A and B are shown apart, each in its own frame.
Chain A
Amino acid sequence: MEILVASAVGILTAAGLYLVMRLRTFPVILGVSLLTYAVNVFLFASGRLTIGAPPILTDAETYADPLPQALVLTAIVISFGMTAVVVMISLGSYLGSNDDGVNDPLLDKDEDLS
């Protein structure tokens, strides 16, 4: 199971980073979403991977660490909200300037003002 989770985190991160470097808002937002999925799985795994164990302290020998699950919930909510915000802002930017590039425009608007 470790190899499965680890490769999932790795592939998601790699794909996310690749998309982030596309520098157009739509792929970048998808890339950021993939990265947040990766980090959610990573956070979840930070409490060690256990199967079929009760989530809180009981008399059982092994138990699943409940804290990372709480952390992941918080992280999911926050990243969901942030993605919504960035979609709105980039949509506004795209509709306003008819350009979905993330970088500053290349042409230097250096009109002669004097």
Chain B
Amino acid sequence: MSHWIILPIVLPAMLAPFIVLAARHHISIQRVFAIAGVLAQLVIAAGLAWTTSDGTILLYQLGDWAAPFGIVLVGDRLSTMMVLLTAILAMFVLIYAIATKWDEKGANFHALFQFQLMGIMGAFLTGDLFNLFVFFEVLLIASYGLMIHAGGNDRLRAGVQYVLFNLLGSTLFLFALGSIYAETGTLNMADLAYRATLIGPDATVGIRVAAVLLLLVFAIKAALVPLHFWLPSSYAEAPGPVAALFAIMTKVGAYAIIRVYTLIFPPNLEATTASFDVWLQPAALLSLALGMIGVLAAKKLDRLVAFAVIGSMGMVLVAISMFTPESIAAALYYIIHSTFAGAALFLIVDLVKSSRRSLDLVALPPVVGAPLIAGLFFAAAIAMAGLPPLSGFIGKLLILDAAVASGTQGLIWTVILASSLIAVVGFGRAGSTVFWKAKSIVPTQDHPQQGPHVMACAAIGTLIALLALLTVLGGYVHEYTIATSNQLFDPAPYIATVIETPGKLSTPTEGY
């Protein structure tokens, strides 16, 4: 049993208390350890992704207890891909936070950042539904701290909304877990996958309720309309780098939907057929439309990006809701793309905010370093709206292509194409107001401000370069997501690995 798979969780769990206890008065030491920690995460995540890329399923039994009784961590292609994605995103967000000195504006930024990473990594790696809940809580409680980092009344108010909404979501999660346990007697995902098939057609009420409740919980996390109300305020009010890191949090919800609804409640499972899948697709299409209309309607740049995130999550969920290997592969490609694009946009908004009186979409004097920031915004907006040549276009093509086989092709194509047009107009309007119209205003030359920090721009530039790389290497990435998706639709090896690997319990001593 290799121990590497638990390191993405243990490393930040150790680093964060160390930063709080030993280095809380020394921001430079905190920075060194935070960067070193994230770099190590990156290496470990790359190693894990490499190990699982041939289809191996990594299993880690905590305390060597066998699966349905002990807690397990499982790494397959999907989990390790998400872990790697998180590590890459964390790296650039951290560089940006340090370069712009966001981490100095309040206490314990680096410790909370590490706890946040611990929760996200754990949610991706766990093979147990209750542990998924625990890791959700870890990432949420860290995100509460990060969300109100640096304080301010508006931020605190948005923080209250965010925390309360998520507390209700957690309660719902526990109700769902209780019903699942009452129906099946287990919370291990692989074991559940087996037991869900045993439920007879006459006793499906409980498991249907549980499946839909669970989907509601994940839909809250993934900001699916009409459960998206927490997102615009909290993402707009959160500090820039924190909002950028939160770009992966909505994907945790999407990941959980993919995992649970391909492994435990697959579309062909009789007990839950025609329950959650009836309304997932309409809700996803609605999110996509509402998100992109929000982009056009937003009065402030930060709200605009928040609605773009809702729209892109809608796109991901449209692809997921078709539940075919092609559509899940397309969704995974789009998840990678929209994580980087969303994060880059939030960081750009933060740069604009630092030298502009407000983020209202009205003409104001040009921001410092306008040509560079405008260029970055242009590229990121192209990616987010899904125009060629960046990866959003390829992702959208893949989703459109996957929709051909589904019964609702016309509806999906209409909504995706129309919402893309609306998004293009929305981003075009915002960009031209913020960057072009500004030239007509004579700047009041009272105090020359510093230009944006080089490292901050480099972090954003690298995120956009990654999007370009995702486009150039689109073929390879898509091959990988197809392999991932095929692995998800053939869960037998996953289940066998988890259930059949012997642990302590499998060798009963005499007299038992």
Which residues of A are in contact with B by a Cβ distance under 8 Å? 20, 25, 28-29, 32, 35-36, 38-39, 42-43, 45-48, 67-68, 71, 74-75, 78-79, 81-83, 85-86, 89-90, 92-93, 96-97, 102-104, 110, 113-114
* Chain A: minimal CB distance from B483 (Å): 35
Known contacts A82-B137, A86-B167, then 4 further A-B pairs from the complex at CB < 8 Å, ordered by chain A residue: A71-B178, A78-B137, A86-B160, A104-B157
> Are B170 and A104 in touch, CB under 8 angstroms?
no
Which of A81, A82, A89 contacts B159, CB < 8 Å? A89
> Are A86 and B163 in touch, CB under 8 angstroms?
yes
Chain A residues with CB below 8 A from B360, complex form:
110, 113
* Chain A: minimal CB distance from B359 (Å): 11
Measured between alpha carbons, how far is A92 from B160 in the docked complex, in Å? 9
Measured between alpha carbons, how far is A18 from B432 in the docked complex, in Å? 46
What are 16 A-B pairs with beta-carbon distances under 8 A?
A: A28-B164, A35-B168, A35-B171, A36-B167, A36-B171, A39-B175, A46-B182, A68-B178, A71-B178, A75-B174, A81-B141, A86-B167, A89-B159, A113-B358, A113-B362, A114-B362
Chain B residues with CB below 8 A from A78, complex form:
134, 137, 170
The B interface, classified by DSSP as helix, strand, loop or mixed, is: helix
Q: Mark B120-164, 1 if CB is under 8 A from A, else 0.
A: 000000000010001001001100100010011100110111011
Measured between alpha carbons, how far is A48 from B174 in the docked complex, in Å? 16
The 9 closest A-B pairs by CB, nearest first: A93-B156, A46-B182, A46-B178, A96-B153, A97-B153, A39-B174, A43-B178, A46-B181, A86-B163
Which of A38, A68, A86 contacts B181, CB < 8 Å? A68
> Are A85 and B163 in touch, CB under 8 angstroms?
yes
Measured between alpha carbons, how far is A35 from B163 in the docked complex, in Å? 15
Indicate whether B73 reaches chain A with its CB closer than 8 angstroms. Answer: no
Q: Mark B326-369, 1 if CB is under 8 A from A, else 0.
A: 00000000000000000000000000000001101011100000
> Are A86 and B164 in touch, CB under 8 angstroms?
yes
Measured between alpha carbons, how far is A48 from B182 in the docked complex, in Å? 7
Chain A: CB-nearest residue to B363: A114
Chain B: CB-nearest residue to A83: B167
Chain B: CB-nearest residue to A44: B178
> Are A89 and B171 in touch, CB under 8 angstroms?
no
* Chain B: minimal CB distance from A14 (Å): 14
Indicate whether B177 reaches chain A with its CB closer than 8 angstroms. Answer: yes
Chain A: CB-nearest residue to B162: A89
> Are B137 and A25 in touch, CB under 8 angstroms?
no
> Are B163 and A47 in touch, CB under 8 angstroms?
no
Chain A residues with CB below 8 A from B153, complex form:
93, 96-97
The A interface, classified by DSSP as helix, strand, loop or mixed, is: helix
Which of A25, A39, A93, A113 contacts B357, CB < 8 Å? A113
Q: Which of A28, A74, A78 has the most CB of B within 10 A?
A: A78
Q: Which of A25, A67, A68, A82 has the most CB of B within 10 A?
A: A82
* Chain B: minimal CB distance from A74 (Å): 7
* Chain A: minimal CB distance from B435 (Å): 16
Chain B: CB-nearest residue to A92: B156
Chain A residues with CB below 8 A from B170, complex form:
78-79, 82
Chain B residues with CB below 8 A from A35, complex form:
168, 171
Chain A: CB-nearest residue to B364: A113
> Are A93 and B160 in touch, CB under 8 angstroms?
yes
* Chain B: minimal CB distance from A107 (Å): 14
Indicate whether B324 reaches chain A with its CB closer than 8 angstroms. Answer: no
Measured between alpha carbons, how far is A83 from B141 in the docked complex, in Å? 11
Chain A residues with CB below 8 A from B177, complex form:
43, 71
Chain B residues with CB below 8 A from A92, complex form:
148, 151, 156
Measured between alpha carbons, how far is A79 from B136 in the docked complex, in Å? 13
> Are B157 and A97 in touch, CB under 8 angstroms?
yes
Chain B: CB-nearest residue to A25: B160
Chain A residues with CB below 8 A from B137, complex form:
78, 82
Measured between alpha carbons, how far is A110 from B300 in the docked complex, in Å? 11
> Are B134 and A89 in touch, CB under 8 angstroms?
no
Indicate whether B179 reaches chain A with its CB closer than 8 angstroms. Answer: yes
Q: Mark B362-400, 1 if CB is under 8 A from A, else 0.
A: 111000000000000000000000000000000000000
* Chain A: minimal CB distance from B72 (Å): 15
Chain A residues with CB below 8 A from B358, complex form:
113
* Chain B: minimal CB distance from A66 (Å): 11
* Chain A: minimal CB distance from B459 (Å): 29
Measured between alpha carbons, how far is A113 from B437 in the docked complex, in Å? 14
**A89 with B178, Cβ < 8 A, contacts A32-B167, A81-B141, A82-B137 known:** no
Chain A residues with CB below 8 A from B163, complex form:
82, 85-86, 89
Chain A residues with CB below 8 A from B357, complex form:
113
Indicate whether B233 reaches chain A with its CB closer than 8 angstroms. Answer: yes
Q: Mark B226-245, 1 if CB is under 8 A from A, else 0.
A: 00000001000000000000
Chain A residues with CB below 8 A from B181, complex form:
43, 46-47, 67-68, 71
Measured between alpha carbons, how far is A114 from B242 in the docked complex, in Å? 30
Which of B140, B157, B175, B363 contacts A93, CB < 8 Å? B157
* Chain A: minimal CB distance from B133 (Å): 8
Measured between alpha carbons, how far is A83 from B166 in the docked complex, in Å? 11
Chain B residues with CB below 8 A from A25, complex form:
160
Chain A residues with CB below 8 A from B179, complex form:
46
* Chain A: minimal CB distance from B159 (Å): 5
